Amino acid sequence: MIHSYLYLSIILFCLGIVGVISRRNVFTVFMSIELMLNAANLAFVAFARVHESMDGHVLAMMVMAVAAAEAALALAVVILLHKHKSKLDTNVFSLLKG
Amino acid sequence: MGQSVHYLGLIPLFPLMGAVFIGLLHVFTCKNAKLSEKVYGLLACVGPVLSFVMALKVFFQLKSLPADARFLSHNAFTWFSVGDLHINMGFLADPLSCLMLLFVTLIGSLIHIYSIGYMSGDKNYGKFFAYMNLFLGSMLVLVLGDSPVVMFVGWEGVGLCSYLLISFYSEDTNNVLAGNKAFIVNRIGDLGFVLGMSFLFWGIGASGFDYLSLKANVHHLTPAIALTVCLLLFVGATGKSAQIPLYVWLPDAMAGPTPVSALIHAATMVTAGVYMVARFSFLYAHVELAGNIVAWVGILTALLAAIFGMFQDDIKKVLAYSTVSQLGYMFAGVGVAAYSAGIFHVFTHAFFKALLFLGAGSVIYAMHHEQNIWKMGGLKAKMPKTYITMVIGALALAGCPPFSGFFSKDEILFSALATGHYGIWAVGLLVACMTAYYTFRMIFVVFHGEPRDQHAFDHAKESPAVMTVPLIILAVGAAFAGFLNMPGVQTVSHWLAPSLTEHHPHASSFVLVFAMATSIVAFLVGIKIAYSKFGKGAAEPVFSGFEKFAYNKFYVDELYNAVIVQPYKAVGSSIWKTIEPNVTDGPVKAVTRLYMMIGTAFKVFQVGYVRIYAIYMIVGLSLMSLFLSQSLN
Amino acid sequence: MFADGLFLGFAVLAVLGAAGLVVFRHPMNGAMSFVVTLISLAGLYALLSAKLIFALQLIVYAGAIMSLIVFIIMFLNIQPSDLPKEETKLVYILGGLAVVLPIGLFLAKIVKTLPLSSTAILGNDFGGVKQVGLLLFKDWLVPFEIVSILLLISLIGAVVLAGKKEAVK
């Protein structure tokens, strides 16, 4: 049944959120975001199967393209942050304080 | 009844316009292109002289009217109208205001002409004449006003000009302080005046608040309110006309230029209080107690000022205390319901006191602004015109027949005697003796004997004609004005009768002769004592005991300062230091502190870590989904 | 019957991989777990008859994106001192799970309302390269072009960001 795929998608998505809010390592945060995107992809493809239409596949492709683009940029930023402070802790960057 | 004429409004308008015009000229030219003094002098005298000409026109027009309808009125415009109170900027010329008008404009014009000479060389020449014109305009508004409110406009205006002119030599702070003192003490009196007006309005103002309506309705006033109004208005008069307790500003006001002292503090402004009481004669005649209080305050002021005047060494201070003393006589006159006698004394006093002040100014001018009489002496040889005119003025002041002061002062003393006020008569007689003494003390010390300061004496010479001609004109007035109201004929009293509510006392001719005789005896005694002490030249005395006490004006100024001024300043300072920071600033600061505390409390949420902000979002989302799951059921 | 077992296996692997990603301290370990998740997801796509997506997932995600991430992790030469000291990691994770639970339950409730449908493997007409390609180039042409521009932008952005030089003295 399709519901199991959707429940799995929900579980993966929630695990992704947990990863974003509870970890301080920039790589872990970034990869948790990718995890969330993948969970969404799974939901797209599952619904495409339900409706037997391939729009979901196309959208999944778009998501993948976006994820790739975002991965490139995010990693560039991570490199710059590391060059700046040589630390990979998100708590180090706290200029918004106050 | 009466006529409505349109030129009445022009009488105060000419000097006021002159003031504005001269003031603007001075402001725009005093820095770069100084105008010639002649220009200012000419412009300044145009207004007063024109007003005098129109005053004459008013007089002749009034004479042509029948006695029971003898007034001219002019309603310039409705000033304001609120509820029952309708105030017009209206002018009323009846015999009383006509008399005041005549001598105010005449003496005002003469003093303006005199000032052309006296103030020459002063760098604020134009400003002086602007202020003098402004003063004259305000005084004319005061005299011509047809309601207490319009009179009050002029009342305030003359107070302002008094301040401006006393502090004219403003480089010296003492002059400015004297100006402040005059204005503030005047203001205290003005409070009484305003309260009096308010009570009057409360009582009978609903059916018109001008003199004619008030006179018609005065019997509607309850006795209590009538007494209150009379006393409160008199408080205003004590401020303006320098009676006890608010006389302290007049001696200090001598810091102003001498023409100012002559015009404002001798002839015109200080008589406004007497004019006011005479104007309200319909009210004061109703309340005998108020009249008695006015008369006693007046005569006691006369006594006190005469005591001070006997020991002063500044020529202008002697004349200042003399003014206060004579004003006391005037109030004694109007207090015993002899309103025409009081006003007649105002009239004659204007002439001889202005004459004495201008003469003193002439002496001061000749002695290069030396005012101490113990540095003068023997000037009669050097300044004959001044000497003769001043002697005439002094004789008038001291009450020597046949000069004017004798007739007016005698009228007051006779009225006091005839209405049964024996105490007032007795004190008045004593003051007459003292008046003669201090006046001739001044004359003998300044003009007779040997010069005490040879250097200054050598440089003294008679003043220019522009100053001596007004002196001569005033001397003529001081000498002969008395004949206008001789006992028995009483031209002025009859002229004033339509304006005043007066009941002339019937007294036997024995009382009349007795009063005259005692006045003459008092005069002779005073001049004899003065001659014996100072006639042959005297040295400056050293005071001790009572004399020193009187020389220091009974330390009244110091008393006022200690009892009133210092506590007032202490209260102000305590408000500034304790009440303001705590009571008024405190709650405001507390509110700001509260807001800052709230802000600081919320600052806890601004941690700066984006992860925490993401947590806030997820928590919010979670709560929302909790809520939505509930609603999905 | 085969499908159910495969599904279960892939699902378990995916969840374990995700848990590992969240729990591991060193990002390399996390990346490796994540790769496991991605490969299981590819299998799940295959089970859903999404043949092209299955292939693309393996090529693009597990192959390109993850290798990029792993490359950067190794490039930065991470020392243990660079990594944040996360003593309270477990507390946060459990707290996060508590917070996230209502969201998940809400989504599950929504899913429950959906009608049942089968997931049998479909034939050649569904999910193949040709079919998806036709759809992509006919109905979804404009988004396709826009995504290509997006990729161009990110390419330029990445070059600019990573190519920042120090100011020349």
Give all chains having 3 or more CB-to-CB distances under 8 Å with chain B: A, C
Domain annotation covers residue C52 = yes
Residue B293: pLDDT above 50? yes
Pairwise CA distance, residues A57 & C127, whole Å: 7
Residues B506, B509, B510, CA angle at the centre, nearest 5°?
115
DSSP category for residue B145:
B
Query: CA of A97, closest CA in chain C: separation in Å?
Result: 19
State how far the Cα of C119 lies from the Cα of C98, in Å rounded to an integer: 32
C169 confidence band (pLDDT: 50, 70, 90): very low
Give percent above pLDDT 90 in chain B.
26
For A44-66, b/e burial (b = at least 16 CB within 10 A) is bbbbbbbeeebebbbbbbbbbbe
Domain membership of residue C54 (yes or no) is yes
CA nearest C100 in B: which residue? B622
CA distance B251 to B320: 5
CA dist list (Å): B115 to B132, B616, B630: 10, 87, 99
Angle at B302 between CA B297 and CA B306, to 5 degrees: 150
Assign B300 a pLDDT band (cuts: 50, 70, 90). Answer: very high
* Chain B residues touching residue C108 (CB < 8 angstroms): none
pLDDT at site B33 = 66
Alpha carbons C46 and C77: distance in angstroms, whole number? 37
Cβ pair B182, B252 in contact under 8 A: yes
How does DSSP assign B220-239, residue by residue? GS-HHHHHHHHHHHHHHHHH
**CB-CB neighbours of B330 under 10 Å:** 30
Residues of chain C with Cβ-Cβ distance to B612 below 8 Å are none
For the domain covering A2-88, report its CATH number.
Answer: 1.10.287.3510
Whether omega for the bond prior to residue B95 falls within 30 degrees of 0, making it cis, is no
Q: What is the mean pLDDT of residues B131-157?
A: 92
C106 inside 8 A of chain B by CB: yes
Does residue C154 form part of some domain?
Answer: yes
Q: Cα(B330)–Cα(B409) distance, rounded to whole angstroms?
A: 9
Residue B54's CB: how many other CB atoms inside 10 A? Answer: 18
CA distance B563 to B164: 27
Instruction: With a cut of 90, say whether residue C153 has pLDDT above it.
Output: yes
Residue C81 phi/psi, 5° resolution? -75, -25
Look up the domain containing C24 and give its range: 2-111+122-168
CA separation, residue B409 to residues B227, B323, B401, B517, B564 (Å): 27, 14, 11, 13, 35
Contacts C101 to B, Cβ<8 Å: 622
Phi-psi label, residue B399: left if phi above 0, alpha if psi -120 to 50, beta otherwise: left
B618: chain C residues, CB-CB within 8 Å? 96, 99-100, 103
In the chain, the amino acid numbered C81 is: S
- Residues B73, B208: contact at Cβ < 8 Å? no
The model's confidence at residue C102, banded by pLDDT at 50, 70 and 90, is: very high
Q: Is residue C142 part of a domain?
A: yes
Task: For residue A98, give the nearest of B608, B611, B614 by CB distance.
Answer: B608
Mean pLDDT of chain B: 86
Closest residue in chain A to residue C8, using alpha carbons only: A4
Angle between helices B223-240 and B272-279 (to 10 degrees): 160
Residue C117 included in any domain = no
Sheet holding B72-82, edge to edge: B3-4, B72-82, B85-93
**Coil, helix or strand for B372?**
strand
User: Which residues of A fall within a CB distance of 8 Å from B610?
Assistant: 90, 93, 96
> Helix (H, G, I), strand (E, B), or coil: what is residue B147?
coil
Q: Identify the contact set of chain B against chain A, taking CB-CB distances under 8 A.
A: 603, 606-611, 614-615, 618
Q: Report residue B544 as tokens.
A: 């001790």
Assign C167 a pLDDT band (cuts: 50, 70, 90): low
Q: Mind listing the pLDDT tens digit for each residue in B453-491?
A: 777 777 777 888 888 888 888 888 888 888 887 776 777
Tell which wins on pLDDT, B72 or B426: B426
Report the pLDDT value the prediction gives residue C1, as an integer from 0 to 100.
66
Report the Cα A51 to chain-centroid distance in Å: 25
DSSP string, B301-329: HHHHHHHHHTT--BHHHHHHHHHHHHHHH
Q: Is C84 within the bounds of a domain? A: yes
> Closest approach of chain B CAs to the CA of A92, in angstroms?
8
**Tens-place pLDDT, residues B227-252:** 999 999 999 999 888 888 888 888 88
List Cβ neighbours of C50 (8 Å cut-off, separation of 6 or more): A45, A48, A49, A57, A60, C127
Closest CA to B70 of B98, B102, B30, B33: B98
Q: To 10 degrees, the CA torsion angle through B89, B90, B93, B94?
A: -120
pLDDT of B575 > 90? The answer is no
- Write the single-letter amino acid at B582: N
C29, C40, C45: which is closest to C62 by C-alpha? C40
Determine the Cα–Cα distance for residues B457 and B3; give it in Å rounded to an integer. Answer: 57
State the smallest CA–CA distance between residue A54 and chain B in angstroms: 30
CA distance B72 to B182: 34
The answer to whether C120 contacts chain B (CB < 8 Å) is no
Look up residue B293 and give its amino acid: I
- How far apart are the C-alpha atoms of B72 and B498, rounded to whole Å? 13
Across the interface, whether the CB atoms of A32 and C65 are under 8 A apart is answered no
Number of Cα atoms under 13 Å in the Cβ half of residue B332: 35
pLDDT at B615 over 70: yes
- Which chain B residues are closer than 8 Å to C107 by Cβ? 625
CB contact under 8 A, B625 and C105: yes
pLDDT in tens, C5-60: 899 999 999 999 999 999 998 899 999 999 999 999 999 999 998 999 999 999 99
Number of domains in chain C: 1
First to last CA, chain A: 51
Query: What confidence score (pLDDT) does residue C168 get?
Result: 46
Identity of the amino acid at B288: E
Which of B615, B621, B625 should one mutate to test binding to chain C, selecting the residue with the greatest count of C CBs within 10 A?
A: B625
Sole residue written with tokens 């002749």: B60
Distances (CA, A) of B396 to A36, B148, B205, B477, C139: 117, 33, 42, 10, 124
pLDDT digits (tens, 9 = 90+) for B482-538: 888 777 677 787 788 777 877 777 777 888 888 888 889 988 998 888 888 887 767
* pLDDT, mean of residues B115-134: 87
CATH number, domain with residue C86: 1.20.120.1200
Q: Is C165 on the interface with A (CB under 8 A)?
A: no
A88 and C116 in contact by Cβ < 8 A? no
Distances (CA, A) of B263 to B353, B452, B491, B527, B591: 9, 30, 26, 27, 58
User: Which range has the top average pLDDT, B177-186, B212-221, C111-120?
Assistant: B177-186
CA distance A13 to chain B (A): 13
Quote the tokens at residue B401.
């027949």
At residue C118's C-alpha, the angle toward residues C116 and C120, to 5°, is 170
Which DSSP letter does residue A25 get?
B
- Distances B194 to B137, B206, B232 between C-alpha atoms, Å: 21, 17, 8
Mutant choice from A23, A26, A81, A91 vs B, greatest count of B C-beta within 10 A: A91
* Closest by CA position to C28, among listed C85, C89, C71, C92: C71
Question: pTM value?
Answer: 0.71
Long-range Cβ contacts of B460-465 (<8 Å, 24+ apart): B460/B366, B460/B367, B460/B379, B460/B382, B460/B383, B461/B366, B461/B382, B461/B383, B462/B366, B462/B382, B462/B383, B462/B384, B462/B385, B462/B386, B463/B117, B463/B362, B463/B365, B463/B366, B463/B383, B463/B385, B463/B386, B464/B117
Q: What residue spans define the domains of chain A?
A: 2-88
Q: Helix B37-63 to helix B95-118 angle, to the nearest 10 degrees?
A: 160
Residues B25, B32: Cα–Cα separation, whole Å: 12
> Is C116 among the domain residues?
no
Which range has the top average pLDDT, B307-311, C89-93, C147-151? Answer: C147-151
Average pLDDT over residues B273-285: 89
Cα distances (Å, whole numbers) of residue C166 to B71, B368, C162? 101, 87, 12
Q: What is the reported pLDDT for B404?
A: 86
- Mark which residues 76-115 of C lie under 8 Å from A by CB: 76, 78, 82-84, 86, 89, 92-93, 95-97, 99-101, 103-104, 107-108, 111-112, 114
B527-566 as b/e, with b when 16 or more CB fall inside 10 Å? bebbbeebbeebeeeeeeeeeeebbebeeebeebeeeeee
Residue B547's pLDDT band, with cuts at 50, 70 and 90, is confident
- Pairwise CA distance, residues B230 & B243, whole Å: 15
- What is the arithmetic mean of pLDDT over C97-120? 89
**Residue keyed to tokens 């006015």:** B294
pLDDT, residue C53, reads 94
CA B491/CA B489 separation, integer angstroms:
6
What's the burial of B464, exposed, middle or buried (CB within 10 Å: 0-12/13-18/19+)? middle
Cβ proximity of B522 and B399 under 8 Å: yes
As a whole number, mean pLDDT of residues C138-157 equals 93
- As a whole number of angstroms, the distance between CA B141 and CA B160 comes to 14
Which regions in chain A score pLDDT beneath 50? none
Q: Which range (B18-27, B373-382, C141-150) has the least confidence?
A: B373-382
Supply the pLDDT for residue C165: 66
Residue that the structure tokens 């560039």 belong to: A76
Strand partners, C43: none
Interchain CB contact of B632 with C (< 8 Å):
yes
Q: Which residues of B touch A91 (CB under 8 A)?
A: 609, 611
Pick the more confident residue, C87 or A18.
A18
Q: Which of the two residues, C162 and B42, has the higher pLDDT score?
A: B42
